[in-house]
Amino acid sequence: MTPELLSTYAADIDNIILLVAVLTGFWFVAAEGVFFWLIWRFRAKPGVKSEYLVGNERHVMKWITWSHGLVLICDVFIVIGAVQVWYNVKQRLPEADSTIRVIGQQWAWTFQHPGADNQLDTPDDIFTVDDLHVEVDRTYHFVLESRDVLHSFSVPVFRIKQDAIPGRAITGWFEATGTGEHDVQCAEICGIGHGVMAARIHIEDSGQHAAWISSASAAQ
Amino acid sequence: MTRHRISRAAALPILALGLVACDATPPPVGMVRGAELFETCAPCHGDAGLGDVDIAAPAIAGLPQWYIQSQLQGFQAGWRGKHADDLAGLRMRPMAVSLNREGDIESVAQYVASLEPTFPPSTLHGNAGAGAALYEQVCVACHGAAGRGDEILHAPPIVQLPDWYLLQELEDYRRGARGVNPADTWGITMRANTLVMTDQAMADVIAYVQTLR
């Protein structure tokens, strides 16, 4: 069972994975079917001598060329769909309502949220470890960094996964479409504690989020 | 014996092995279980618990069981190792969280306490004479004249700790990366004592601590 779909592009990512699975699954079943049918069809029979086929005769070649052409047509559909999703998720950067900084390190996530001024890198910023707070229906930019080795910021309900690379600040985006508390994980082997490098994302409505900013600011 | 009988005879030990493999019951609380759990600690702290400066993993061999337990519980509860600037603590915390069965913490703490401590050489070269005065003024009340700690005051022994680790922790206390969580009662006390310490004072007092061995 897959996790809920809670970002604006989560369904697009699932759909392209489904398209790839269906098309490759169809061709896998078809190829295996033809393979075993040929084994059965040309099985050893008493009195029938085997025949050596070079494979370049027209009636033999069609089994390769026709299916090859059909696979290429399927590839076109996959490429068009994948490029659209890639552009939307990775290349396009819609205007942000808010920006957060996500810092990976062995083996924790540090999140820098803007405070009440909604500006990052100001004195009222709120730092948390392993707890990310965002507001539903708002576009967030995240600036992803790593303090040590490769990590990957993965939020399964958003279907997002982005590598964090030491020395680089990588910007991405998401917009949550539903509230709740969900997993954040590291999706890149990063050492012995990789498996327990887990965090939680708290997706809140505007009232809840304002209340959290207020209480977290007071505790800073 | 027929082939079927042979198969059946072979199946029994295989089934028994399978049942043993599926048995999730951990060994009883104690040294055996502690040694098993310590395999998770060894990659950073070393097989003998002597630490590794390159990854900021301190020597833990021979620290008292009560202190190891207390700190592991702190990591689990989040009053230690959950500050954004406590880089070494952030690395340690998830490992402590993975000790999630009843008796895990007690077992591994017992095992660590049983390891033979060593006394790592000095690397900071502070002025031990100057540090002695500060130690007598501030630290002695909890850590004792011999630096062996006091369980009642939750003060660990500090004589066998490497100087780089002592400095790292004093700096973390001073800048608020440790000892700021309200649940860390004893850490708050410790932090208060570091707020007035200069870098030189820290190096000096650490140099003095190392003369207590």
Q: Which residues of A touch B98 (CB under 8 A)?
A: 196
Residue B74 lies in a domain: yes
Chain A residues closer than 8 Å to B91 by CB: 105-108, 193
Which class for B75: exposed (0-12), middle (13-18), buried (19 or more C-beta within 10 A)?
buried
A162-220 pLDDT, tens digit per residue, is 999 999 999 999 999 999 999 999 999 999 889 999 999 999 999 999 999 999 998 77
Q: pLDDT band for A78, please (50, 70, 90 cuts).
A: very high
Residue B208 belongs to domain spanning? 121-213
Q: Which domain holds residue A79?
A: 10-91
Q: Which residues pair with A104 in a beta bridge?
A: A109, A146
What pLDDT, on a 0 to 100 scale, did the predictor assign at position A176?
Answer: 98
How far apart, in whole angstroms, are the C-alpha atoms of residue A187 and residue A190?
Answer: 9
Query: Are A144 and A114 in the same domain?
Result: yes
Whether the predicted pLDDT of B3 surpasses 50: no
Gap from B21 CA to chain A (nearest CA, Å): 22
Q: Please count the structural domains in chain B.
A: 2
What pLDDT, on the 0 to 100 scale, is given for residue B119? 87
Quote the minimal CA–CA distance from B41 to chain A in Å: 10
**What is the reported pLDDT for B41?**
95
**pLDDT confidence tier of residue B133, bands split at 50, 70 and 90:** very high
Cβ-defined contact of B93 to A192 (cutoff 8 Å): no
Nearest CA in chain A to B181: A219
For B29-54, the DSSP string reads TTHHHHHHHHHHHHHHH-TTS--BGG
At residue A53, the pLDDT reads 81
pLDDT at A219: 79
What's the CATH number where B112 sits? 1.10.760.10
Average pLDDT, chain A: 94
Residues A72 and A118 grouped into a single domain: no
Q: Which of A91, A126, A158 finishes a domain?
A: A91
Q: pLDDT tens digits for B28-42?
A: 888 999 999 999 999
The pLDDT value given to residue B89: 94
CB B147 within 8 A of CB B132: no
> Residue B84 is nearest to which of A106, A127, A197, comparing CB atoms?
A127
pLDDT of residue A133: 98
Across the interface, do A129 and B90 touch by the CB < 8 Å criterion?
A: yes
Q: A196 vs B95: CB contact, 8 Å cut-off?
A: yes
- Which residues touch B60 (CB under 8 Å, ≥6 apart)? B41, B45, B49, B51, B68, B112, B115
- In a domain, residue B1? The reply is no
* Shared domain check, A120 and A146: yes
Kindly report the nearest CA distance between residue B86 and chain A, in angstroms. 10
B31 touches chain A (CB under 8 A): no
The rounded distance, in Å, linking the Cα atoms of A141 and A215 is: 23
**Among B116, B118, B114, which residue's Cα sits nearest to residue B31?**
B114
Nearest residue of A to residue B43 by CA position? Answer: A192
pLDDT (tens digit per residue) in B48-105? 999 999 989 999 999 999 999 999 999 999 999 999 889 999 999 999 999 999 999 9
